[in-house]
Structure 1
Amino acid sequence: MRYLPLTDTDRRAMLDTIGAASIDDLFVDVPAEAQLSAKIAGLPDHASELAVERHMAALARQNMAAGDGPFFLGAGAYRHHIPASVDHLIQRGEFLTAYTPYQPEIAQGTLQMLFEFQTQVARLLGCDVANASMYDGSTACWEAVAMAARITKRKKAALSGALHPHYAQVVKTMSKVTDYTIADSLPSIQPKPDNAGLIARIDGETSCVVVQYPDILGRLPDLEEIGAAARAQGALLVVVVTEPVALGAIRSPGEMGADIVVGEGQSLGVGLQFGGPYLGLFGCKQKYVRQMPGRLCGETVDAEGKRGFVLTLSTREQHIRREKATSNICTNSGLCALAFSIHMTLLGEKGLRELAALNHALAVRAADKLAAVPGVRVLNDSFFNEFTVILPGDAREAVRTLADRGILAGVSLGRLFPGEQALANGLVVAVTETTTDEDVDALCAGLKEVLA
């Protein structure tokens, strides 16, 4: 039986109150091509629970899981080994059901975990302060743009062409309901990022410059050069990190002058999970802390002098007057933050550096092998665990052919930037500690056959 708590009269009264003619008016901002206009093929109108389970299981068997064969997908979501203890600990009852501490002072365990998470993220990003997590990396990127606008009183953001296109699209989507101006471009297919082109787009109206590090092609931009150019125009430097394991091997964005650093924490403790839930990271300089979205947990002492934890700042619309809120999408991904924190604790600083070194070494070995395949050119001069190769034809065709053979070869630039023919031959390849020599050999052999 469907749950229908409202009558037609109730719905009509609600629509009249907000000035909408029909429920469809509430979805006018959703593009027509994204709306479901017909029933989902293959799903019956109704069936028994047993029949539904069997049907869904049959559909699931058509999927290829990340561990079923050679796996080189990355571009913002990475397959890393997660210790079994992470999953065991986050499923403890006191953690599993804890979404957010609305009566925080009685949730000391959750607050302490978030306090420690903030400390880990701040050190990792090289920032003075970090918040208690956000929804995911892409929405954290938009929050950084909005925060920079509040700080500078300007509403123009310059996005690097090598920013993940999904992150850029989130920023542009959110800017549609504001009067922000978003200046972006396409990535340049060259060994080094086009810093000069990005710097040329910074002017006296620019609130911030958004740069990914490493970028969508796996390259490492010079953040200090970009940051100096931004500061000369009174703009902030916002750095996006989609692969936090990289920060075990390369200098942190904060160390290189970033004002705000955001990122995706999925790589540590959080599985691929069909694209979510994931974990947004957010850090900044101390002087901007009151403009930072989300929550900030702090350490204090109680009336008896015992250590305790509190919500020091809470600037979301659920806690303060809506018009004073810094954001209304600053969801605290508490369980994913816990998984991240446990994995980081198990690794420690030494372990993270060792994991990063292993990722890089395996990626270098894979790049060398791929460079020896006839018709394959490795674009990058430098990279962490992800790099771009240029094929003689459309990379999407090679990806599809190899997928049919059980090899997930990478993410084609044609998929990330549809319709951009100049990028169509690019393939982003990610290599982590889960990648074996046999996996790389299988990819090389597959490409030799496909490109022959």
Structure 2
Amino acid sequence: MFIPNTPLDQKEMLAKIGVSSVKELLSQIPQDLLYPVLNLPQALTEQELTAHIHALAEKNKPLNNFIGAGIYEHFIPAAVNALSSRGEFLTAYTPYQAEASQGTLQTIYEFQSCLCALMDMDVATASHYDGATAAAEAVLASLRITGRQEIIVSSALHPHYKQVLDTYVRHLPGVHITEAPLAENGTLDLEALKVLLSDKTAVFLLQTPNFFGCLERAGEVSDLVHKAGALLVALVHPVSLGVVQTPGSYNADFAVAEGQSLGNAVNFGGPGLGIMTAKKIYMRQLPGRIVGIAKDKDGHRSFVLTLQAREQHIRREKASSNICSNEALCALNAVIYLTLLGPKGLQEVAELNLERAHELAALISEVPGFKLKYSAPFFNEFVVECPVPAQDIINKLEQKGFGAGYALAGLKGMENCLLVCATETKTEADLKAYQTALKGI
């Protein structure tokens, strides 16, 4: 919190505690640990600063963006930011004094309601830090519920999510992570998964569409996982639920997502919005908070925190999580976005994403030397095998004004593979221009 103390305020406080300066106050701290003196330029007037910021902004190179890989460029209706920028929303913070924060509680309640409908699940929490931490928290809940110690994930799980999950569990005694391999079509090898699942498996983390954009056979995976007595955590792309089956329809125990694509801009990759939902039976294992409806002493409707299994309210070792930040403004954008679109609008957006991605995939496949790596049905993005390292393609297309995609060189055997994304923001002309640029190199 910023407290604007004037020089006179500081002088009075220092005199009160018996020191002459802030430097004397900090004298016991070794000099090399103190924050260095900043050599800042002379202060600018508002007009000069505005001109300076504009000059910096003009150095940005605009790119026609075809990069996805977990953060997606979608059209955001003007009403989303117009409403969420209102003072009563923008300046409201997390409701520590819940009964005095009815507006904030109501927006969280509506957010939870939208998520339950979207995911087809029983309960949803107030938002989490991002999709990766929501997925990791669902896995931790599954470990507590089952009492088992083996985690299985798909090898097509987003690599950054794997890193976050590993950070969460690496020091838990006996807990280990196993990866299930892919079939040639880019989806899970179900026979291999069947062999890996056992009475030691606590949870399987399924991403669909997976990191490569391929849609998994979620119903078959769910049956195998539950037959082994394990729990299923489904990690989904929320926009895809306009056209593909919901986590609730294939009996997922927890369903999580990155909610950035719901009314939140790309913003250089953040902030994110962690979505977490579950079956009602597991409600008390959810981290964070759940807002519900009650009545006040006069019988009027009121919103309350009905579940608060988070670090501020429960002793550290008893809390279900110590990392469950509510991304309130991002969640507000998401609920406004979903409300504006409604089920029909979300379906139309999802269909456009599906169409644009398949149209672009077909155009790229026409360019000599380029082909799709996987044959499975896909949503939003897909993997292209290039005749040269993918980073070379990215560098060359950047000179032509395109963000060509995400290079998969960090994954074994995929040095020449490029993950390409096309959302509803792309026009037919954009897709043809991408193909033309690719032919030109």
Q: TM-score range by the shorter chain?
A: 0.7 to 0.9
Instruction: Give yes or no for the alignment of 1:446 onto 2:440.
Output: no
In the TM superposition, residue 97 of structure 1 has moved relative to its aligned partner by: 1.4
Q: How does 1:170-185 map to 2 (within 5 A)?
A: 170-179=164-173, 180-184=175-179
Change over 3 Å in CA distance of 1:54–1:178 after alignment to 2: farther
Aligned to 2:354: 360
Moved more, 178-187 or 114-123: 178-187
Q: Deviations over 1:172-194 (max 9, x none)?
A: 11222323212236766634433
Root-mean-square deviation over aligned CA pairs: 2.5
In the TM superposition, residue 8 of structure 1 has moved relative to its aligned partner by: 4.3
Return the alpha-carbon distance in structure 1 between the equivalents of residues 416 and 22 of structure 2. 50
Contact kept in structure 1, 2:102 and 2:302, CA below 8 Å? yes
Change over 3 Å in CA distance of 1:111–1:59 after alignment to 2: same
In the TM superposition, residue 408 of structure 1 has moved relative to its aligned partner by: 0.7
Instruction: Give yes or no for the alignment of 1:7 onto 2:8.
Output: no
Return the alpha-carbon distance in structure 2 between the equivalents of residues 98 and 155 of structure 1. 40
Aligned to 1:114: 108
Q: How does 1:88-107 map to 2 (within 5 A)?
A: 88-107=82-101
Aligned to 2:303: 309
Structure 1 unmatched ranges of 5 or more = 13-21, 25-38
Change over 3 Å in CA distance of 1:214–1:46 after alignment to 2: same
Corresponding residue SS for 1:109: helix
Return the alpha-carbon distance in structure 1 between the equivalents of residues 354 and 160 of structure 2. 25
Contact kept in structure 2, 1:70 and 1:440, CA below 8 Å? no
In the TM superposition, residue 63 of structure 1 has moved relative to its aligned partner by: 3.1
Moved more, 205-214 or 186-195: 186-195
Q: Deviations over 1:266-290 (max 9, x none)?
A: 0011100111111000001110000
Aligned to 1:236: 231
Aligned to 1:374, which of 365, 368, 373? 368
In the TM superposition, residue 208 of structure 1 has moved relative to its aligned partner by: 0.5
In the TM superposition, residue 393 of structure 1 has moved relative to its aligned partner by: 2.2
- Letter of the structure 2 residue corresponding to residue 443 of structure 1: Y
Return the alpha-carbon distance in structure 2 between the equivalents of residues 297 and 252 of structure 1. 23
Corresponding residue SS for 1:423: coil
Return the alpha-carbon distance in structure 2 between the equivalents of residues 5 and 404 of structure 1. 54
Q: Deviations over 1:217-249 (max 9, x none)?
A: 1111111222222112221111112x3110001
Structure 2 unmatched ranges of 5 or more = 1-6, 8-20
Larger Rg: 2
**TM-score normalised over the length of structure 1:** 0.86
Moved more, 275-284 or 387-396: 387-396
Instruction: State how many pairs are aligned.
Output: 414
Instruction: Give yes or no for the alignment of 1:422 onto 2:379.
Output: no
Aligned to 2:213, which of 206, 215, 218? 218
Instruction: Give yes or no for the alignment of 1:437 onto 2:428.
Output: yes
**TM-score normalised over the length of structure 2:** 0.88
Change over 3 Å in CA distance of 1:372–1:96 after alignment to 2: same
Instruction: Give yes or no for the alignment of 1:205 onto 2:224.
Output: no
Q: Deviations over 1:374-393 (max 9, x none)?
A: 11112333112211111122
Corresponding residue SS for 2:419: strand
Return the alpha-carbon distance in structure 1 between the equivalents of residues 24 and 51 of structure 2. 31
Return the alpha-carbon distance in structure 1 between the equivalents of residues 27 and 193 of structure 2. 54
Contact kept in structure 2, 1:192 and 1:380, CA below 8 Å? no
Return the alpha-carbon distance in structure 2 between the equivalents of residues 210 and 343 of structure 1. 28
Return the alpha-carbon distance in structure 2 between the equivalents of residues 248 and 322 of structure 1. 39
Contact kept in structure 2, 1:147 and 1:292, CA below 8 Å? yes
